Amino acid sequence: GVAAGAAGGGLRDDEGGPDTGRRHGGQGRTRPPKAVAMFCTGGIRCEKATSYAIASGAFPPGVPVYHLDGGILAYLDEIEPHDSMWRGECFVFDRRVAVSHGLRPSAEYESCRGCRGPVSRE
């Protein structure tokens, strides 16, 4: 899934590094962003990434850097679907494979019996 209006940084997993903000934060931009908002599954990686981005100067001075407190899982648990900006499901690292609003297990994905990776029910 993804947040509506998100301008994805093009990152996958823990791909970040010292130049992440410079490489991905301004993709296709001619001006610095007004603000940067990060989100991840449970929030811990984003707390670390937000702190690192601020401390390292990954974004231009004065650009506020935020993270979604508690991650996508907290958001899906707390926000009603009709008020949500989240589209799709969130992959998780347990037998549910993915969850939707209210942390309901996925109706679309299940775990492959061979590799335990997510596969569509189709």
Closest residue by Cα to residue 77 from 45, 108, 43, 121? 43
Give the CA angle between residues 93, 105, 78 to the nearest 5°. Answer: 90
Please say if the pLDDT value at position 121 is more than 90.
Answer: no
DSSP 1-23: -EETT-------TT---TTHIII
pLDDT tens digits, residue range 6-41? 776 555 555 555 455 554 444 555 677 888 888 888
DSSP run (H or E) holding 111? strand 109-111
Residue 77: predicted pLDDT:
96
pLDDT tens digits, residue range 76-104? 999 999 999 999 899 888 888 899 999 99
Selected catalytic residue, list 40, 46, 90, 115: 40
pLDDT tens digits, residue range 44-82? 888 898 899 889 988 888 889 988 899 999 999 999 999
Q: Cα separations (Å) of 21 from 80, 93, 113, 115?
A: 32, 27, 38, 34
Residue 19: predicted pLDDT:
52
Closest residue by Cα to residue 8 from 70, 88, 78? 88
Residue 76: predicted pLDDT:
95
Kindly state the average pLDDT of the residues 94-118. Answer: 86
Q: How far apart are CA 85 and CA 97, in angstroms?
A: 21
Question: Is 40 known to be catalytic?
Answer: yes
